Structure 1
Amino acid sequence: MAPKPDLTESFIALALQVTCHAVNRATTRQEASELMLETIKRLSEQIAASIAFIGADCRLILLPEYFLTGFPLGESIDEWAEKACLSMQGIEYEALSKIAQRHSIFLCGNAYELDPNFPGLYFQTCFIIDPTGSIVLRYRRLNSMFAPTPHDVWDKYLDIYGLEGVFPVAKTEIGNLAAVASDEILFPEVARCLTMRGAEIILHPTSEVYGKELAPKQAAKISRAVENMVYVVSANTAGIVNTPIPAASVDGGSKIIDYRGIVLTETGAGESMAAFAEIDLAALRRYRKRPGLNNLLARQRFELYAETYAQTKLYPPNTMLEGEIERKHFIKTQQEVIEKMGIGNGEWGMGNGNIIN
């Protein structure tokens, strides 16, 4: 295979829209692992064919959210950890690393992952594998409705990984890469913190409803690109099969948005490699250096907001440090937070002593 050209300042990124073959119906870990490896084999062929069509300057490929497994459907945390979660040095990562090496690409995806530092839990993890096959970024989802997050074990997580491990940015030959998972695109603080640490390209693996109307996530992708002056590469699933949920419920709309909020490419429904576009890092960096109204990064005054954030307490950290966790924990905690907010009493945001100290 001919060597890839050095395209540090300009290359092609692909948001590869593929079907998720869920493992929920697998009855053993071995059966689930075989399904995952079959998915990786299928992906290997699709990635090879996509690069052959797009060209050798395709250097970055993003896969959808939980593309190997789907999501839990009634499984307890322990059951899902046993059946569907990857080891940090597992055979699935090894197989994906070989794809990145074979094609000299940066390969990004999203999976449920075990961490030996936190027995009994798992994290939804975005990963980036570089052309040498090394994992150069692990981002654990910080806002999740039904999965453990670093915030739920906050003090211990910070002790082990530090704040750079909470908001990681990979400084690579194709720019500074970061990742945001699924509906975290709706949380502007996550993308902002990544940008403050140097992110130029935000990779967004997702599995979401897609339609003709401008849904909240679609609007948020454009907003995150504009306000942070970054490229947003978003890969959606082409449906999820092998579950009771209708397969096409989350299908279509993978896209790439530039730092001005312009949608460079977007695909419809079904498996597709049509969502590819040029990433022009030189142009992005020139844009960020240009004084004027549109340079939103250079106009930021973070001191204005820092004290209010520091004083505000809402969703509690460290709720999963001890004891067995059941799924009802998530709803119970959210109900307590809503009660604390006092929205029904008109107290939200009025410094009642529960939210703003």
Structure 2
Amino acid sequence: MIIERRQALAGLIATSLPWPLEAARLTDPKAYAAVALQLAARSVERAPDRAAARAQMLKMIEEVGVKLRSSAIFIQQYGGSPVKLAVLPEYLLTSYPGRISIAEFAAKAALEVDGPEYDAFGKIAAAQKLFIAGNAYEVDKHFPGLYFQTSFVVSPSGEVVLRYRRLNSMFAPTPHDVLSKYLDIYGLDGVFPVARTEIGNLAAIASEEIVYPEIARAHALRGAEIFLHSSSEIGSPTDTHKAIAKRARAFENLAYVISANTAGIEGTTMPLASADGNSMVVDWKGNVLAESNAGETFTAFADIDLAGLRAARRKPGMTNYLARQRTALFAAAYGAAKGQAADGLIDGNQVRIPDRDYFLRVQEQTIERLAKDGLI
């Protein structure tokens, strides 16, 4: 059964169309602006309990709404189009878990799928008539005791229209760690979700996942046109791995990348500006249209030319890398690859809760196996 599910995932690469046929019939939206809103994340580590953590997060969402409204007004007055899409940084409401145990952090800080935080974001999206993309830790009733890092999109209707769980993480559970059960519940659409909206086909990429081309490509093969990248990373005047990857993921998939970084992290022992700066908007040619400096700012904003992107995807030529991709060539190689194994947190039919060091041990074992096989 597990082998069959893995073959189904590998088959995604071999059989998916470069974009779904229905996407070609979409009406191109009117011009609009997207903004990567660079804000400081706020740790809940010092909150004494779940109620205090929840109160802090709801207060912060209220502050985000005020900053977003002011930013959108200035962007349009500056000469831009109406803001219809805002991307927020990674784990904005809580910061990273640190050494807090998996179960403790899930109980204290992870959002619930139908929790008040999403309702609060929904009210802001509805009032300001825009899509809000964010990132938070979230619990799932099917996997008690665990949490997943979740990228989400709330539409102007106030509803969550996209929920993507990070697939590659160094120190946290992912759907890959419980893949067989996750596929049984959510199917492939739940692993690589794409939201078809009036502002384009949206997909999320979380944090350092931007350096893994397969994740962006899997979304693109399912129709994604705009990658929403919530991140918390080191900013630098020189190109970092993530900065290079953002441009690569854009042009190789003919897709926009809207990347929002934190403006530092408040409430931890780490220096405030350790993860600060370089939020950006990248077009489908890999050009950086706008990029922020350090600090809280809305300056990474740009108009989205979706009609131009769609025209480029449908035009034969050497730079149409998405249409030129020969996916069937790679299915067997990916299927036979001996990377990190799926279902590491499933014992029989039971899901187990790992300690924090589990993830490092798994990587060490994977490296040892690859070295033994002469692959690295």
Question: Would you call these one fold, judging by a TM-score over 0.5?
Answer: yes
Conservation of the 8 A alpha-carbon contact between 2:291 and 2:299: yes
Distance 1:312 1:270 in 2: 42
Shift of 1:10: 2.1
In the alignment, what sits opposite 2:43? 22
Distance 2:364 2:179 in 1: 20
Indicate whether 1:149 and 2:174 are aligned.
Answer: yes
Distance 1:313 1:98 in 2: 46
Conservation of the 8 A alpha-carbon contact between 1:114 and 1:123: yes
Task: Select 2:367's aligned residue among 334, 338, 343.
Answer: 338
Indicate whether 1:193 and 2:214 are aligned.
Answer: no
Task: Select 1:259's aligned residue among 281, 284, 287.
Answer: 284
Distance 1:64 1:276 in 2: 14
SS of aligned partner of 2:178: helix
**CA deviations over 1:93-122 (Å, ceiling 9, x no partner):** 111110000011000000000000111111
In the alignment, what sits opposite 1:241? 266
Shift of 1:313: 2.6
Counterpart of 1:80 in structure 2: which amino acid? F
**CA deviations over 1:303-330 (Å, ceiling 9, x no partner):** 1111111112321111112333111110
**CA deviations over 1:217-265 (Å, ceiling 9, x no partner):** 0000000001000000000000001000001000000000000000000
Counterpart of 1:11 in structure 2: which amino acid? Y
In the alignment, what sits opposite 2:374? 347
Higher helix share: 2
In the alignment, what sits opposite 2:245? 220
Counterpart of 1:226 in structure 2: which amino acid? F
Conservation of the 8 A alpha-carbon contact between 1:10 and 1:282: no
Distance 2:352 2:193 in 1: 29
In the alignment, what sits opposite 2:324? 299
Shift of 1:297: 1.1
In the alignment, what sits opposite 1:161? 186
Counterpart of 2:193 in structure 1: which amino acid? P
SS of aligned partner of 2:322: coil
SS of aligned partner of 2:358: helix
Distance 1:63 1:30 in 2: 24
Conservation of the 8 A alpha-carbon contact between 2:28 and 2:306: no
Distance 2:352 2:262 in 1: 35
SS of aligned partner of 2:203: strand
Conservation of the 8 A alpha-carbon contact between 2:102 and 2:353: no
Shift of 1:86: 0.2
Q: Which runs of 5+ in 1 are unaligned?
A: 1-5, 350-357
Taking every aligned residue pair, what percent have the same amino acid on both sides?
A: 50
Indicate whether 1:124 and 2:149 are aligned.
Answer: yes
Distance 1:223 1:100 in 2: 30
Indicate whether 1:48 and 2:75 are aligned.
Answer: no
Counterpart of 2:126 in structure 1: which amino acid? Q
SS of aligned partner of 1:156: helix
Distance 2:28 2:251 in 1: 24
In the alignment, what sits opposite 2:22? none
Distance 2:99 2:327 in 1: 42
Indicate whether 1:325 and 2:354 are aligned.
Answer: yes
SS of aligned partner of 1:234: strand
Distance 1:331 1:121 in 2: 17
Conservation of the 8 A alpha-carbon contact between 2:146 and 2:353: no
Counterpart of 2:191 in structure 1: which amino acid? V
Shift of 1:7: 7.8
SS of aligned partner of 2:289: strand
Distance 1:48 1:291 in 2: 41
Conservation of the 8 A alpha-carbon contact between 2:101 and 2:356: yes
Counterpart of 1:26 in structure 2: which amino acid? A
Shift of 1:9: 4.2
Distance 2:30 2:256 in 1: 13
In the alignment, what sits opposite 1:114? 139
Distance 1:211 1:312 in 2: 34
Judging changes above 3 Å, is the alpha-carbon distance between structure 1 residues 285 and 324 closer, same or farther for their aligned structure 2 residues?
Answer: closer
1:2-13 correspondence to structure 2 within 5 Å:
8-13=29-34
Conservation of the 8 A alpha-carbon contact between 1:141 and 1:181: yes
SS of aligned partner of 1:204: strand
Q: Runs of 4+ in structure 1 displaced over 4 angstroms?
A: none
1:172-211 correspondence to structure 2 within 5 Å:
172-211=197-236
Alignment coverage as a number of residue pairs: 342
Distance 1:130 1:63 in 2: 14
Distance 2:353 2:177 in 1: 13
SS of aligned partner of 1:297: helix
Counterpart of 2:69 in structure 1: which amino acid? A
SS of aligned partner of 2:323: coil
Conservation of the 8 A alpha-carbon contact between 1:206 and 1:236: yes
TM-score normalized by structure 2? 0.89
Counterpart of 1:128 in structure 2: which amino acid? V
Distance 1:323 1:161 in 2: 19
